[in-house]
Every structure is written in C-alpha cells, then in structure tokens.
Structure 1
Amino acid sequence: MLNGIALRLLSVGFFAAMSATVHGLSHSVPVGQIVFWRSFVAIIPIVIYMAWIGRFPNGFLTKRPGGHFMRGLFGGISMVLSFISLAYLPVANATALAFLGPLVSLPFAAMLLGEVLTRRIIWAAFIGFGGVLLMLASSLVRPDADPGQLIGIAAGLGFAATMGLVRVQIRNLTKTESAVTIAFWFSVTCSGIGLLSLPLGWVPMVGDVLWYLVFAGLLGGVAQILATEAAARVPVSQLAPFDYTGMIWALGFDVILFSQFPDWISFIGMGAIVMAGIITVVTPKSERPAAAPPAPRQPWH
C-alpha cells in the first residue's frame, strides 16, 4: 500500500509541473495543439518504460480495446477541459477545481467497483473539498471581475466530473491490463483527439514553444505511468485524499513562475487539504478498505 501511495504522490508532482507548463503555453498555443503534443510526446517515455520492464512489444496488445477507447475518449475530453481551465485560471485555482475529481470518484468506486468507503475516508474527502472551496473563494465571490474566470471555472467543473469516471475506468482496466498498456493507448487516443483540431489552426512552433510542448509531454507521460501503477496497487477511495498534495505544488508554481500570490483564505484552504491527507494516513488498519491485489505482472521483473 505504501508503494502505491508514494507512486501517487510522485505522479501528483509531475502532473502539477505539467499543468504549470500548459498554463504558460496556453496564452500563445491553441488547446488542441497542446493536447496533441502532450499526448504524442508522452508515448516516448511510455515505450521506454515498456522496454525496461520487458513488455515490449507485448505491451501494445490488449484484450479490451473497447475499454481503452472509452477510457481514452473520456480522458481526452477531461484533458481538453483541464487545459481550457488552465488557460483562464491560475494553476492553483485550476488544480483546486480538479480536486473535485477524487470526491466524485468515491461514489463511482463504491457503485461500480464495490469498494468499501469508511467514515474516516469520506470525512477526509469532504474536508479536502471544503479546502478546495476556500481556495476558490475569491473567484467564486467575484466572477464578474474577469469574464474568462467563468469559462475557466466551467471547464474545471467539467474536468472534475469526467475525471471522476475516468479514475474508475482506470481501476477497472487494471484488473486485466498492465499499467503501461493503459498509458500507451490513452496517449494514442488523445493524440488523435488533439490532431482533430489541426484544421482549426495551429501556431508555428518557433523559439521555445516546441521545447515547452515536448517538456509537457514528457512530464505527462511519466505522470501517467506513476498514476496508473498507483491505481493498480491501492483502491481509488484511499488514493483520493493524497491528490490534495498537488495544491502545494500548484501554489509554488504560481508564486515562483507567474508571480501570482494567494491570499490568506487560500492558505487556510491548503491547510484543510493537507489535513484531509493526514486523516487518511492515521486511519487504523481495521477501518481501511482491504487493498485490492495488483494487476497481473508476469514478465515485469
């Protein structure tokens, strides 16, 4: 279980760095173009990882093409909505909206996967959700201050809703599919979704734009592998509160890279988010859902 949590924490950090990169690109590069490069370049670390664990080329094979297509379709929609949110909101605010995803995933996990939700885990999720609301307080109280904030908030809410289902889809796929297979076909599907935006107009990749697009893809590819491996080891409901640590990364990127300083209400929200993770960590083993067995890993070692 600890290995799964550590993998999830690492994936959160990589995703936060990718989000900061996308936020910087979104002011000059169309969302569809970013989606394509983030997904296409991500195939490189995924294939390297596939070879490293001895799954090349068998890792391309799947028994559930329909499941991968649906995961890729909903995941691609989630990615588009996430990048739109990052285009109009600070990284911390967009990340805060994304944290509604783990909360949405809890009932999905219970209904579709049969996972047991303890009271402490549910309370942790709601405390984290309260922290998210505090993080968004300034935007929600004065949405008329910037019309773009309404677009960003709407896209962020849509992202959270679709991600709640995507998390459960990933968990379900890991019962028969390896993490690298899931990550590979997700990137392929999302590359196709991004490519569909080409007729709408892409900008020339001059200067540092190409390198930032490649960097976002590499970060996303590594984060995908880590997140999928974590989902294969630990139930969705237990991973949810740990995603809130991404707020710390997001706030740091806003301050250091974009000179956007949060107010005191945001810091209170961050404290509530961290508290949610602590509650989960100290939950007695007798109250925790039993960890599901890892996905099949025959030739991985």
Structure 2
Amino acid sequence: MPHPLASSSGRAATLLPVLAVVAGIAAFSVMDATMKAASLTLGVGTALLLRNVFGTLLTVPLWLAKGRPTPSRNVALFHFQRSCVTSVMAALFFYGLVRIPMAEGMAISFFAPIIALYFAALLLGETIRPRAIVAAVLGLVGMVVIGADRFGAGEYGVEAIKGTLAIVLSAVFYALNLVMQRKQALLAGPVEIALFQNLNVALLFALFAPFYWTAPDAVSVTWTVLGAALATIALLFLSWGYARAEAQVLVPVEYTGFLWAALMGWLVFGESLGIGVVAGAALIVVGCYIGTRPTQNDT
C-alpha cells in the first residue's frame, strides 16, 4: 500500500507540470488574438517577423541573467529544426486564422494532439496508455461538437475554405512540434529554448521579408509587442512543464486552448458562442481530467 505522503508527492509532481502547461496554453491563446489583429493589418509574414524580433529582445536579458547558457552543436541543430517546424506551423495557422473565427480555427486544429500521441510513441519511445487514448478521443469529440455548432452557423466562401485547409495542415506540423517540444525540454532550459526559438524564427522570416514586408503603424506594433511577450511567457511555461511530464499526459491539456480562443474571439473580434461551445468544453474538461489523472504506477 503506497504511503500517503508518497501519494501526495506523486500528485504534486504531476499537477505542477499540468498547471504550467495550462498557463502556457492560455498565454499562447491570448497571443493568437493579438497576432490575428496584427496580421489583419500587416499580413501574416510581417506580423510574425516583428513578434519574433521583439521576442528575441525580451528574452536576451533573461538569457544573460541565467549565465548565457550556450547549446552544444547537436542541441543548437535541434533548436533550429524545431524552429523550422514552428515557422511553417505558425505561418499556416495565422494564414487560416485571419480567414475564419478564432474558436473555429482552434477547433479544427485540435486533431493535432491525436497525431501527437503517435508521434510520441514513434519519436520518444513512450508507451501509449489506454486512458491517454480515451482522453484524446473525448477531446476530439468535444471539438466535433463545437465544430458542428460553428460550421452550422453560416456558409463558407473560398477564402474560408482556404483558411480551413491551412489550419488542417498546420495541425500536422503542430503535432510534430508538440513532441519535439518534449524532447527539446529535456535538452535545454526554458530560457535557452525561448531565446533560440525566437531568434531562429525571426531569422527564417527575415530571409523572405522582401517578398511580404509591410511598414507597421503604432497600433500594429503594440499588438506584436504584446504577442511577443505572451509567446515568450508561454514558451517558458511549456518548456518547464514538458521537461517534467510525458507528452501523452500533457497533450490532452492542449484542448483547454479552445476555451481561451473562444473567450478572446468574443472579446476582441465579437465572435459569438453557441450551446455547442458549452457542450464541447464539458467533454474537453472530462478528457483533460482523465488524461492528467495519475495512475498508481505513476505515483
């Protein structure tokens, strides 16, 4: 019979990474709203370039305070590889998000955690437990319920269809990003990850800037600075959490992002919420509970 203190310690060890990832997802979701606002004015490329430039400037002082941790050649290469995946994922996602409502875009993207479970097994050697599959399926069903509510609200034009397809493709890269995030968190600290991801992504977008650059105004700069701060905070939380728990435990928590996306879509862009949102959110919460609940073996 496990000792009560050991059980309590095991729950805390599982709960803290989950709470860190919840906070990270919340920050990323609010950042999505700021970047959608900036992208509508500047275009996706310019908005993402500015966000990562400002993000680099924000993380340099943190990096210096941490003693300037420098990655080895192999770790630096992995930082760059994940930055490439992140760049494609972000460009596709925001291309889609400026064409459809936020909650709708998030709903479409949420088949990514299902794919991520299998990426985790393939790339990290994790064993997929039945409860993780049940959690992911419940979350997916919640997304289907929400999607049905959203899709039934009106007809889609060509731009909306293009946006939907872009987000579907983005979700595949997002699934790979989730698993790479877990591996990266085991190789480097949160500050190092945040700095090199911001820097690498900024460099990648800068290479193509002559093809899309739009001069920003004060309002769009404000949106991108806020987006950079939120993205940096999110990276720090997610890196810390993914270094301390398995990907399949944390992946279902990604579904909470929809709740934040729905809220920000309503507050910033006036996007309405239907009864399907409530029903789908309930399924997501149940799925997250099942996926993050520690088993006896975990403790």
TM-score in terms of structure 2 length? 0.88
Alpha-carbon shift at residue 144 of structure 1 (Å): 4.9
1:268 and 1:51 map into 2 onto residues whose CA distance is 46
Alpha-carbon shift at residue 248 of structure 1 (Å): 1.4
> Aligned residues: percent identity?
23
Which residue of structure 2 lines up, in the alignment, with residue 112 of structure 1?
123
TM-score in terms of structure 1 length? 0.88
* 1:282/1:72 CA distance change after superposition, 3 Å: closer
Which residue of structure 2 lines up, in the alignment, with residue 209 of structure 1?
220
Alpha-carbon shift at residue 221 of structure 1 (Å): 1.3
* 1:112/1:211 CA distance change after superposition, 3 Å: same
Which residue of structure 2 lines up, in the alignment, with residue 11 of structure 1?
24
* 1:51/1:207 CA distance change after superposition, 3 Å: closer
Q: Can you list the C-alpha shifts for 1:179-224, whole angstroms capped at 9, x where unaligned?
A: 3222222212211222233222322222311111111111111111
Of 241-250 and 94-103, deviating more is 94-103
Of 4-13 and 189-198, deviating more is 189-198
Which residue of structure 1 lines up, in the alignment, with residue 64 of structure 2?
51
- Match 1:237 to one of 232, 248, 266: 248
Alpha-carbon shift at residue 285 of structure 1 (Å): 3.2
1:50 and 1:65 map into 2 onto residues whose CA distance is 15
Which amino acid counterpart does residue 228 of structure 2 have in structure 1?
G
Of 269-278 and 42-51, deviating more is 42-51
2:231 and 2:248 map into 1 onto residues whose CA distance is 23
Alignment length (residue pairs): 286
Superposition pairs of residues 1-301 of structure 1, within 5 angstroms: 1-52=14-65, 54=66, 56-59=67-70, 62-138=73-149, 140=151, 144-286=155-297, 288=298
CA RMSD of aligned residues (A): 2.1
In structure 1, runs of 5+ residues without a counterpart are: 291-301
Q: Can you list the C-alpha shifts for 1:255-282, whole angstroms capped at 9, x where unaligned?
A: 2222111222232112211111122244
* 1:254/1:182 CA distance change after superposition, 3 Å: same
In structure 2, runs of 5+ residues without a counterpart are: 1-13
SS at match of 1:220: helix
2:36 and 2:167 map into 1 onto residues whose CA distance is 13
1:115 and 1:216 map into 2 onto residues whose CA distance is 33
1:226 and 1:25 map into 2 onto residues whose CA distance is 24
Does structure 1 retain, via aligned residues, the 8 Å contact 2:45–2:212? no
Of 11-20 and 43-52, deviating more is 43-52
